[in-house]
Structure 1
Amino acid sequence: MVFGIEHKVKSHRTGRRRKKGGQKMPVAPWIVITLVSVLVASGLTWGFVALLRSGCSGDVYRVTVAAAPSVFGSLGDAAQEWEREQPELNGECVGVEVTEVSAADASRGITGSWNAMSFGKRPIAWAPDAQVWASWMTSSEATAGYVSSEPVALGEAGSVLAVAESTATELGWIGGEPPTWAEVVSAATAGDISLAAANPRSSTEGLVALLNASSDGAGGFSQEASDAYAAAIEAGSSAADGEGLKNAYIEAADASQVMTMLDYQVEDFNSTSDSADPLVPVTPSGSTVSAVASYMVLGGAAWVSETDAQIADMFGEYVAGQVSSGAFSDPELKPIDDAAAALGQATPEAVGAAVRAWQSGAQDLNVLFLLDWSSAVMEEHVEYEGDTVEAGIAAVRVAVDMIGEMEPTWRAGLWEYGVGAGDDVNWRSVAESAEMSGDAKSGLTQTLYDLSEEAVFEGGAPLYDSLVAAYADMNANLVEGAANVIVVLTNSGEDTASLPTVGETAEALASMAGSATVYTVGFGEANAENLTQLAAATGGEFLPAPSEGGVLGAIAPA
């Protein structure tokens, strides 16, 4: 699959993490104490009170802003500074809470089902690290009204090719005229380089590279250029994001590999690498799209109230003033001279055409989640997305995260197992397989949330019988042309409730000779040896549960 998701568990976060921002006390406690003492001594305590609460009263009412990792810290700083000015609406103190959400995750959540468990409250405003995400989101008639304000351009990062200095020198890409995208693709086709691309549906670096590579040179989309780029990636490699590309590059130690990245990602790589052959950023001539970070207020969705939107607009005006005065800065962004031109680099039509062309060449995925809901899943705690939670809750959150990342044409269903789960068996179907678009994605996500509130089944974890039954059902209902997989989510792997042993179960799976593949995801103290044996019997893999998502990248077809 072109732009297949890397078969490793990776974080979606890239670039320098700058978590300076956040909702903190506007004035340091020691400053407050000192100031109070001085004011009391001078008989001006009333002035201090007026200073702290002028123009509004009561607790601060905050609305949520979802910000990409690269701008999260800077916007958090701006939010603190704004609150120090005590903004008010109708006499009430207001502010914003900035939460860190990748642009890809946010765009899926805004137009589909917002994953509040992973990403916090639904946002009133959005700050992606590239305006083209908003262009993609508004490229369809159904979501065209999801942005209700003029975006504020925050800064930009350049879309580049990360090339080993020795390779760039050999190809004449340093010191002279940079290559065009057509020449880059030709070099990849000829075998002079190996082109490695980040996935445009899960990373900003991949999306802006796709738009530049498939451009018709006049701000539109070229199917011919898109096909050539896709062929070059098919001959090369791909990963979920720039972080995945860098990890693969280090592992392969191949100087001929050329990667799609943002300029600051190349800088980050070189700053942490002691390689004698550093990466250099090469910007193909004719590239017109950069990663323009922006701030915008959302509209058209039921959760955005008029009052909340007004508060988000007020913060947007404050940020715009900070940008124009030079007070707003971010270490990963360069200032923008012409904000209107930067925000209009790619039309929604061109972005939509490019992404849809890519999707049309991708293999679909059909997933059956097999969730362990025996009592053991609530007896062990694990870490997930910064929280310490029961293994069963972590398993639910992994499934929800995977569903959120699925393409609209992919399918998913849900089974659970535990002693007595079915009428006369230890498993049951909770949700029938359905395409993950619109209501179906929201419905399956809600089903998982609802399930997490239900009592677990007392007794052992009858994995073996349940897996054989699920495998037989999947093979009887294969989706033609798709990768059909079963994802087992458990913290066990040992089964005293089923009659066969793990070895006999593995033999049974292998003898069924189906086209489905089993991936076992083990949480906490799960028996990795048993889970590996079961997955391997079908050509699948055992995956230790990650600490913050990424499982879909290990099972998506490549």
Structure 2
Amino acid sequence: MARGRHRSLQVSRRSAADRVGASGATRRKRAIAPWVVVAIVLATVVSGTTFGYLWVTGGCSGSSVQLSIAASPDQAPVVQSLADKWQKDAPEVDGRCAQIAVRAVQSAEVASSLTPNWKEDSGEPRVDVWMPDSQVWIERTGARPDVAQMVSGEPSLIATSPVVMTLPRPMAEALGWPDKTLSWAELAQGRVAGTTWAKYQHSVWGPIKMGIGDPRASFPALGTLLSVADADGDNSVTETELGNALLLARASTVEAVTSDAFFANMKKVTNTEAGLAGSGPFPATEAQVAAYDNAKPKVPLVAINPDEGTVYAEYQYLVLKADWVDSVRKKIAQQFLSYLQGEEAQRAYGQAGFRDPQNSTQYAVGLDTDLGMGSQSTSEARQLPDIKSVDQTVGFWTALQRKANVLAVIDSSGSMDEAAPDGQGKRIQVVQQACLRADALFNPDTHVGSWRFSTKLDGDKDYQEMVPIGPVGGNLPDGTSRRKALDATIYNDLVPEGSTGLYDTMLAAYKFMQAHWLGDNRLNMVVMMTDGKNEDPGGISQEDLIKQLKATADPDKPVQVVIIGYGPDADLNELKTITQAVGGNAYPAKTGADIEKVFLATLIGGQS
């Protein structure tokens, strides 16, 4: 999945402009006492503000100028080492003494923090050159109008590393590796189904666990998510294929945001069996696995090219087009780029387990083939989907991670027994299927409850509780899984009967959610699905409903109200009048897919 691979392999010889992280003091170079040099180095290392700080030795007599590089953490040590060597001979550019500061920072963090308004006194590190682990971060950043110009230069590809599935060797062998190619989707299905290691004669390891990481923060996580979501490999992710992302989201149990965090946790393992019981498949680059294994850890990991195909991390070099990147810094950046593209630097990257820009392992060392590393085949390399699909998939993932507090209120009046607008069965059947699919969207920690409504379902009440509100991943008092209870009542209890007691039900639902409001940055909401308008002459009027809704609303406890008007009989103007009284909205739906879209967009935050 290396987007624009052929284009990115063309080495850019043009200088560009970037953004910098630590300001370099202007000073003339003179003889420095050894103890001063040591003090400078120690102070810099201890401070941790940059990965390293390069000072100029004898030979350059001009004032200093510093180039600040933000590099992904996995390659930062290599970049630092190469910067040390490059600067060893005191390079001079336009009469200035060149210095380089290398800062290890996640690519996603740089992508979100870049701004054209950076000032030296802002307290934020300056970035002149950005070295992310994938061009996708550059493209996503370029979609922001305020920084598009800053990242519009042509990046140069420095190195690559395949994104692999990594897991402890005993686990991989138990699953059939190396004779069997492992699949993320297959493992996720097993995890969701509750498969344990007992199936593979290792019951002591407990339930199968797996992790994905956060695709908003980690390229290995993002690349894995996209390769699984884009199941047909056509470089786009359809709405149907988003279900594959749902599968991964629900299967992920190993809590680590990035592969760096995963390896940090694995390095702490002192007991092999305990390490195996707490571990499982996780996405990482081949270079990261090599670095981990070469340190001789307690639990060695293997690198597996998954059945979905291999995505490549592509380490780019981009000079930002920013006001603070003056002509001298551009020249320093260009000279250092030329050095990085030379054989000495390529061998240094290879020494650290990286492949060259052509995905070749010609310089790579330390790739243990017995642990699955060093495959020369590039036929399985996959292209990244288009940026629209990337954003859509990440947005979907974001929605799946969001915790909410939701009361679903479903119309079961007699009219729901009529034919669906698109002719696909009865209205109630379409709504049932849409509800079942929506149920799968919920994070296990999300609180969900369900009501049905028509008229006089519970004495004079037009509504009736089907499942009490609580964690969807938890159980009811009788031990029944709440998710299974939700699905069962949707199938069995939504029996069309009576008229539409919309007003009384909406007021009761809103008051209920105010009384059961939850903090913790949750989205508290009432989602009502109806195919008609109020048909309860004995109930409150629309005027009274709106008046009471406004009186009940608490600005410190916001409850979002969304009404989905399904079919031609739903009065959208009436529904909007109701929801807008408390800051919500109403949306039309002609199909079950429309219902799902509104629900998902609400979770993401796209509807208001």
Q: Which has the higher contact order (CA 8 A, sep 6+)?
A: 1
For normalisation by structure 1, the TM-score amounts to 0.49
Structure ID, larger Rg = 2
For normalisation by structure 2, the TM-score amounts to 0.46
